[in-house]
């Protein structure tokens, strides 16, 4: 395993274990279950890397761990309830993470598809709509969880509207930054570094390749 | 040369634009900012291929504009017939709402595909249409919530009110997305694009 991703994962694992210990002592079930899930999630990238699915760059691994940390910290310290901007901060960071994933997915698709090509100026639009759509779907997930499991993820209409609005803004910001970054970098090098060959081959084999009659309308 | 049938169909599309304009006016008078915004988006989506191709015949087909204009038609019918909201009209309004938002999203994505340097295959276009639909649902919350804040109106009564609408609409959009994907898979995708936004893809 590469050194930087491992160090990041190990460091955040220690932090989550420490937070888990505090939450267990305080008996806050929502906080400790979140920390436990976060602890499991941060080990997914190393697991995927080991299985040859994808090698995420270390800044993205850091971003995943950091956004999970901010979420867990907000629950542990109750800053979600006492600090008005905490929720905005976590949504902003996770918005950047979603935008990064969307960009990566688009790049991998473009590099491996002859029928999809998104020029950098249109990347702004596609990243923007993907970030906002993900936020809306996330809000629906929160509402469903609150209604069925009884969690307290969504606080009010004001909270929902502000979260969506903040993602409108950071979707646009990240879209512009990503498009600017892509102008100066080649697709091939970036995608090559992800080592997604096996994953792309799997998608091709199971999802994309179709009988000749259907592939005509796929163009 | 435009055939009589083609000319009539183009005329029908322009006539339906009038409905969208009246729908926009109604939304302004009725203080309904989201549907005013969507009526403008509908007009924009219908006329964008005309502007990009500089050909008046390249307006969206009449049936396409009709679906986009459904909320405006329903609102105008409501005024004309002085009907009150019932469970039945609520359901009809909701179907009209999602059909309209979905068709605006589809028209915009088809136009991007036809008139820009972006290349998209069928699954990508269909997926992007669904994504754009969700963006409009998000815009509904942001626009109406802020309008309520500014004017003291009560367009969205509660968080649950918006979330249930969003959930139900998204389920409807998933159904429409699957149907669209199936329809385009069976037929000639390029021909569908030419028939709707007036141009085959540049690829």
Residue pLDDT, tens place only, B18-77: 999 999 999 999 899 999 999 999 999 999 999 999 988 899 999 999 999 999 998 888
Is some CB atom of chain B closer than 8 A to the CB atom of A187? no
Task: Report if residue A171 sits inside a domain.
Answer: yes
Structural tokens at position B60: 């969206």
Average pLDDT over residues B163-177: 96
A217 with B187: Cβ contact below 8 A: yes
Do the beta carbons of residue A5 and residue A45 sit within 8 Å?
Answer: yes
Q: What is the pLDDT of residue B20?
A: 95
pLDDT band at A200, cuts 50/70/90? Answer: confident
A130 with A76, same domain: the answer is no
3-state helix, strand, coil in chain A (%, to 5): 80, 0, 20
pLDDT band at A187, cuts 50/70/90? Answer: low
Task: Report if residue B202 sits inside a domain.
Answer: no
Do the beta carbons of residue A9 and residue A15 sit within 8 Å?
Answer: no
A190 with A91, same domain: the answer is yes
- Residue of chain A with shortest Cα separation from B105: A129
Do the beta carbons of residue A165 and residue B142 sit within 8 Å?
Answer: yes
Q: Report the percentage of chain B scoring pLDDT > 90.
A: 73
Q: What is the pLDDT of residue B201?
A: 53
Its domain, for residue A13, covers 1-82
Cα angle value A170/A176/A179 (rounded, 5°):
135
Task: Report if residue B203 sits inside a domain.
Answer: no
CA distances (Å), origin A3, targets A7, A84, B34: 6, 37, 51
Q: Give how far A179 is from chain B: nearest CA, Å.
A: 14
Average pLDDT over residues A166-188: 79
Tens digit of pLDDT for each residue in A18-70? 999 999 999 888 889 999 999 999 999 989 888 888 888 888 899 899 999 99
Task: Report if residue A18 sits inside a domain.
Answer: yes
Q: What is the pLDDT of residue B17?
A: 95
Between residues B202 and B151, the one the model is more confident about: B151
Query: What Rg do the C-alpha atoms of chain B give, in angstroms?
Result: 17
Q: Report the percentage of chain A scoring pLDDT > 90.
A: 32
- Residue of chain B with shortest Cα separation from A126: B128
Average pLDDT over residues B149-160: 93
Question: How many domains does chain B contain in total?
Answer: 1
Best residue in B131, B167, B186 for a mutation probing chain A (most A CBs within 10 Å): B131
Task: Report if residue A215 sits inside a domain.
Answer: no
A91 with A183, same domain: the answer is yes
A90-104, A176-190, B17-31, B149-163 — which is least confidently predicted?
A176-190
Do the beta carbons of residue B195 and residue B184 sit within 8 Å?
Answer: no
Structural tokens at position B163: 């979330």
Could you give the CA distance from residue B123 to residue A130 in angstroms, rounded to a whole number?
15
Could you give the CA distance from residue B13 to residue B118 in angstroms, rounded to a whole number?
27
Task: Report if residue A131 sits inside a domain.
Answer: yes
A121 with A133, same domain: the answer is yes
pLDDT band at B200, cuts 50/70/90? Answer: low
Nearest to B111 by CA among B52, B183, B176: B52
Its domain, for residue B39, covers 4-197
Do the beta carbons of residue A122 and residue B118 sit within 8 Å?
Answer: yes
Q: What is the mean pLDDT of chain A?
A: 84
- Token pair 């309004």 is found at B93
Residues of chain B contacting residue A157, judged by C-beta atoms under 8 Å apart: 145, 156, 158-159, 161-162
Between residues A87 and B123, the one the model is more confident about: B123
Q: Is the dihedral of CA A134, A62, A16, A10 positive or negative?
A: positive
Is some CB atom of chain B closer than 8 A to the CB atom of A90? no
A196 with A88, same domain: the answer is yes
Tens digit of pLDDT for each residue in A76-112? 999 988 887 888 888 888 878 887 888 788 888 888 8
Q: What is the pLDDT of residue A159?
A: 85
Q: Supply the ipTM of this predicted assembly.
A: 0.90
A107 with A18, same domain: the answer is no
Question: How many domains does chain A contain in total?
Answer: 2
Task: Report if residue A210 sits inside a domain.
Answer: no
Examine the pLDDT at A214 and tell me if it is beyond 80.
Answer: no
Highest mean pLDDT (candidates A6-10, A146-150, A181-185, B130-134): B130-134
Q: What is the pLDDT of residue A217?
A: 42
Task: Report if residue A152 sits inside a domain.
Answer: yes
Could you give the CA distance from residue B192 to residue B122 in angstroms, rounded to a whole number?
11
Q: What is the pLDDT of residue B86?
A: 61
Task: Report if residue A185 sits inside a domain.
Answer: yes
Size of interface A-B (CB pairs under 8 A): 107
Closest partner CB to A136 (pick from B112, B137, B146)? B137
Structural tokens at position A6: 């491992």
- Residue of chain B with shortest Cα separation from A128: B135
Q: What is the pLDDT of residue B126?
A: 96
Closest partner CB to B131 (pick from A130, A143, A158)? A130
pLDDT band at B84, cuts 50/70/90? Answer: low
Could you give the CA distance from residue B30 to residue B75 in angstroms, rounded to a whole number?
10
- Residue of chain A with shortest Cα separation from B157: A157
A73 with A133, same domain: the answer is no
A47 with A121, same domain: the answer is no
Q: What is the pLDDT of residue B88?
A: 61
Could you give the CA distance from residue B135 to residue B151 in angstroms, rounded to a whole number?
24
CA distances (Å), origin A94, targets A109, A172, A184, B58: 22, 14, 25, 41
Closest partner CB to A135 (pick from B130, B138, B163)? B138
A103 with A41, same domain: the answer is no
Do the beta carbons of residue B98 and residue A104 sit within 8 Å?
Answer: no
pLDDT band at B187, cuts 50/70/90? Answer: confident
Q: What is the pLDDT of residue B18?
A: 95
Average pLDDT over residues A150-165: 86
A88 with A196, same domain: the answer is yes
End-of-domain residue from the set A19, A52, A82: A82
End-of-domain residue from the set A18, A53, A82: A82
Q: What is the mean pLDDT of chain B?
A: 89
* DSSP code at position A204: I
Task: Report if residue A112 sits inside a domain.
Answer: yes
A101 with A50, same domain: the answer is no
* DSSP code at position A206: I
A218 with B123: Cβ contact below 8 A: yes
The pTM is what? 0.85
Could you give the CA distance from residue B46 to residue A107 in angstroms, rounded to a whole number?
31
A89 with A190, same domain: the answer is yes
Q: What is the pLDDT of residue A60?
A: 86
Within 13 Å and on the Cβ side, how many CA atoms surround A165? 14
At residue A96, φ and ψ (nearest 5 deg) are: -65, -40
End-of-domain residue from the set A35, A56, A82: A82
């Amino acid at each position: 395993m590469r050194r930087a991703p491992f160090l990041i994962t190990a460091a955040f694992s220690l932090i989550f274990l420490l937070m888990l210990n505090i939450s267990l002592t305080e008996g806050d079930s929502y906080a400790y279950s979140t920390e436990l899930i976060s602890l499991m999630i941060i080990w997914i990238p190393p697991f995927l890397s080991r299985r040859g699915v994808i090698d995420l760059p270390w800044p993205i691994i850091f971003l995943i761990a950091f956004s999970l940390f901010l979420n867990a910290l907000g629950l542990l310290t109750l800053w979600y309830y006492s600090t008005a901007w905490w929720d905005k901060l976590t949504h902003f960071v996770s918005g950047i993470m979603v935008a990064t994933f969307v960009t990566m997915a688009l790049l991998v698709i473009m590099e491996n598809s002859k029928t999809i090509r998104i020029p950098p100026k249109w990347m702004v639009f596609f990243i923007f709509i993907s970030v906002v759509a993900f936020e809306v779907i996330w809000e629906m997930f929160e509402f469903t969880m609150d209604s069925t499991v009884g969690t307290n993820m969504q606080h009010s209409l004001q909270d929902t509207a502000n979260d969506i609005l903040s993602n409108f803004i950071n979707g646009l910001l990240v879209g512009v930054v990503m498009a600017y970054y892509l102008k100066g970098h080649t697709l091939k090098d970036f995608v090559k570094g992800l080592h997604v060959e096996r994953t792309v081959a799997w998608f091709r084999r199971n999802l994309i390749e179709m009988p000749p009659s259907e592939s005509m309308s796929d163009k | 040369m435009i055939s009589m049938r083609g000319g009539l169909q183009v005329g029908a599309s322009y006539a339906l634009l009038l409905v969208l304009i009246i729908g926009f006016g109604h939304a302004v008078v009725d203080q309904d900012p989201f549907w005013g915004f969507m009526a403008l988006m509908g007009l924009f989506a219908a006329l964008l291929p005309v502007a990009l191709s500089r050909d008046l015949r390249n307006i969206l087909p009449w049936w396409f504009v009709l679906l986009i204009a459904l909320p405006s038609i329903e609102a105008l019918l409501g005024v004309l017939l002085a009907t009150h909201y019932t469970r039945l009209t609520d359901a009809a309004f909701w179907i009209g709402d999602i059909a309209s938002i979905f068709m605006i999203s589809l028209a915009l994505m088809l136009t991007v595909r036809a008139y820009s340097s972006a290349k998209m295959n069928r699954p990508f276009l269909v997926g992007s249409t669904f994504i754009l639909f969700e963006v409009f649902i998000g815009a509904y919350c942001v626009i109406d919530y802020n309008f309520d804040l500014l004017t003291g109106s009560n367009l969205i009564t509660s968080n649950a009110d918006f979330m249930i609408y969003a959930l139900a609409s998204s389920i409807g959009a998933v159904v429409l997305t699957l149907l669209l994907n199936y329809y385009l898979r069976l037929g000639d995708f390029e021909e569908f694009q030419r028939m709707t936004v007036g141009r085959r893809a540049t690829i």
